[in-house]
């Protein structure tokens, strides 16, 4: 899925939900810009897959910005539209994640 998401971002076929925009604006460690989301997708990896999500399969992506800021985003892929849908974006709390890739128990 990461390859399809990267291609959508490169070709500007991305839809941000209102929830994602709200989360990006209100991030407690500072607002997250679209450019940072783009960078995170381009350098990122899928750390959790949600293949059964409806109406589209989605994934939790972890990536870093050019300034080394860690970013998590949940992104769906709409195959018919060939579009990435950003559901939420946040800077992960290191107390809840191991290397930002695995949830702490």
Q: Is the pLDDT assigned to residue 3 strictly greater than 90?
A: yes
pLDDT digits (tens, 9 = 90+) for 37-80: 999 999 999 999 999 999 999 999 999 999 999 999 999 999 99
If we measure between CA atoms, which residue out of 3, 12, 36, 22 comes closest to residue 87?
22
Give the burial class of 4: count Cβ atoms within 10 A of its Cβ; 0-12 exposed, 13-18 middle, 19 or more buried. middle
User: pTM value?
Assistant: 0.92
Q: What is the dihedral of CA 9, 30, 20, 80, to 10 degrees?
A: 10
Paired with 63 in beta bridges are 71
């Amino acid at each position: 899925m990461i390859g399809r998401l990267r291609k959508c971002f490169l070709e500007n076929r991305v839809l941000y939900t209102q929830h994602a925009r709200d989360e990006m604006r209100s991030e407690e460690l500072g607002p997250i810009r679209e450019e940072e989301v783009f960078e995170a997708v381009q350098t990122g990896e899928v750390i959790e897959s949600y293949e059964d999500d409806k109406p589209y399969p989605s994934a939790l992506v972890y990536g870093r910005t050019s300034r080394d800021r860690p970013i998590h985003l949940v992104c769906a892929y709409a195959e018919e539209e060939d579009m990435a849908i950003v559901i939420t974006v946040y800077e992960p709390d290191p107390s809840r994640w191991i290397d930002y890739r695995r949830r702490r128990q």
